[in-house]
């Protein structure tokens, strides 16, 4: 196959692989977005795939280039596909555009343009230096990957996922002596949502009823991950022992806020994603005030039925 025969199909496939890699680190990268990169050879074959793993560490494309350098295959890279426009500024790490230019890669495929005005301009810089740059390939999927980052950049507020489980009678309340009524598969989904989050928001009613741990257990968590646990408790009913236990489990516990106060607090943090795990009272407040982005409904059944809605 000649290089000219490498086409949109190869680019899309490379971005799909890059998205899959980036998704593994969703929840670990805040305040940065999850980003994936994939290198193709002259025939469109995948040489390497990488993702940004944690803020302060290498960006996806920089990591990928380092790995290719180590394997001595850097010269074989003829196309680099990246889910997000490479950064063009020095932050905690040097500009990725410089690394791409130094590597001599002739073609760069970009999924989503960077919504961050500070980092924007990478595509133009690469083009100005004679590279072929194709932008907005698989754009919808790449924008979906960075939905939380994009919202935070554009509005200052993190992405809010409201999760609610309903039993066959349409109630959220578990039977006496139990903390849940959903299937093991739904439990895995719930823990995947936790893993993605930087903060968990709950109400005093849930804590008084269940003393939930809110830790990620049914899937492996990101190593060393710290989350906020925000407890809305206007009547100060939560026992100190619960708070101390949550702190021991790695949470930064924040109490004594109103719902609006909680969002004002979150705006000042690096959090990109908030998971609301509350009972009917707080869940309904979130719905009434229309302050959710993603609504995950689990309906008990055989098997459970999961419904995911995104706010328009
Ligand atoms: N099925 C599920 O998905 C699910 C998930 C979690 C919990 N639950 C169940 O839900 C039950 C507890 O229900 P719940 O409704 O009492 O729990 P909740 O919604 O977690 O907590 C309600 C409490 O939060 C406080 N709060 C503060 N600001 C609020 C606001 N803006 N809107 C609403 N509440 C606010 C209130 O206490 P103050 O007035 O003291 O501030 C209120 O009593 C438990 O049985 C638990 O097992 C089910």
Indicate the SS3 state at residue 125: helix
CA dihedral 47, 32, 231, 253 (to 10 degrees): 90
| Residue 234 Cβ < 6 Å to ligand 1 | yes
Which of 86, 274, 67 is CA-nearest to residue 163?
274
Polymer length in residues for the chain: 312
| pLDDT reading at 222 higher than 90 | yes
Q: For residue 165, which of 151, 179, 144 has the smallest C-alpha distance?
A: 179
Segment 188-217 mean pLDDT? 97
Position 177 scores a pLDDT of: 85
Is the confidence at residue 80, as pLDDT, over 60?
yes
295: enclosing H helix or E strand: strand 294-299
**Backbone phi, psi, residue 154, to 5°:** -80, -30
Answer whether 165 contacts ligand 1 (Cβ < 6 A).
Answer: yes
Indicate which atom in ligand 1 lies nearest the CA of residue 233. 41
d(CA 16, CA 140) in angstroms, rounded, equals 12
Query: What is the rounded CA–CA span in Å between residue 35 and residue 82?
Result: 7
β-strands 159-166, 132-134: how paired?
Answer: unpaired
Whose alpha carbon is nearest atom 44 of ligand 1? 206
Q: Is the CB of 210 under 6 A from ligand 1?
A: yes
pLDDT for the residue 120: 83
> Is residue 4 over pLDDT 80?
no
Q: What percent of the chain has pLDDT over 90?
A: 89
Distance 258 CA to ligand 1 centre (A): 13
Residues 134-147: tens digit of each pLDDT: 999 999 999 999 99
Give the pLDDT band (50/70/90) at residue 92: confident
| Contact call for residues 111 and 141 (beta carbons, < 8 A) | yes
- Looking at every residue in the chain, the average pLDDT score rounds to 95
pLDDT digits (tens, 9 = 90+) for 278-303: 999 999 999 999 999 999 999 999 99
- Angle at alpha carbon of residue 231, lines to 227 and 237, rounded to 5°: 140
Where b means 16+ CB within 10 Å and e means fewer, 136-163 reads ebbeeebbebbbbbbbbbeeebbbbbbb
Ligand 1 atom, smallest distance to 166 CA: 1
Q: List, by residue number, the catalytic residues.
A: 61
pLDDT band at 109 (very low <50, low <70, confident <90, very high): very high
Record the pTM. Answer: 0.95
User: Does residue 207 line the site of ligand 1, with CB under 6 A?
Assistant: no
User: DSSP states of 57-91 as a string?
Assistant: S--HHHHHHHHHHHTT-GGG--EEEEEEPPP-S-S
Q: How far apart are CA 303 and CA 168, in angstroms?
A: 12
């Amino acid at each position: 196959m000649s290089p000219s025969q490498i086409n949109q199909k190869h680019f899309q496939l490379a971005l799909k692989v890059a998205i899959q890699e980036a998704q593994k680190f969703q929840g670990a990268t805040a305040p940065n977005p999850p980003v994936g990169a994939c290198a193709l050879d002259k025939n469109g074959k995948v040489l390497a795939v990488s993702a940004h793993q944690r803020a302060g560490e290498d960006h996806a494309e920089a990591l990928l280039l380092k790995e290719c350098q180590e394997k001595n295959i850097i010269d074989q890279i003829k196309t680099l596909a990246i889910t997000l426009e490479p950064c063009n500024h020095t932050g905690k790490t040097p500009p990725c555009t410089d690394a791409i230019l130094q590597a001599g890669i002739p073609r760069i495929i970009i999924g989503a343009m960077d919504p961050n005005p500070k980092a924007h301009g990478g595509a133009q810089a690469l083009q100005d230096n004679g590279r072929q740059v194709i932008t907005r390939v698989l754009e919808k999927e790449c924008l979906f990957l960075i939905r939380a980052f994009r919202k935070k950049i554009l509005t200052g507020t993190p992405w809010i996922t409201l999760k609610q489980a309903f039993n066959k009678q349409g109630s959220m309340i578990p039977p006496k002596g139990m903390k849940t009524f959903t299937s093991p598969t739904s439990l895995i989904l719930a823990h995947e949502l936790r893993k993605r989050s930087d903060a968990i928001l709950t109400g005093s009613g849930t804590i008084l009823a269940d003393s939930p741990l809110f830790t990620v257990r049914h899937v492996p968590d990101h190593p060393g991950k710290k989350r906020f646990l925000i407890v809305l408790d206007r009547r100060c009913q939560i026992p100190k022992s619960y708070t101390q236990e949550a702190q021991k489990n790695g949470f930064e516990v924040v109490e004594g806020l109103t719902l609006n106060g909680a969002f004002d607090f979150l705006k000042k943090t690096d959090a990109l994603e908030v998971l609301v795990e509350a009972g009917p009272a707080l869940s309904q407040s979130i719905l009434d005030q229309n302050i959710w982005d993603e609504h995950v409904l689990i309906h008990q059944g055989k098997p459970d039925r999961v419904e995911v809605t995104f706010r328009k």
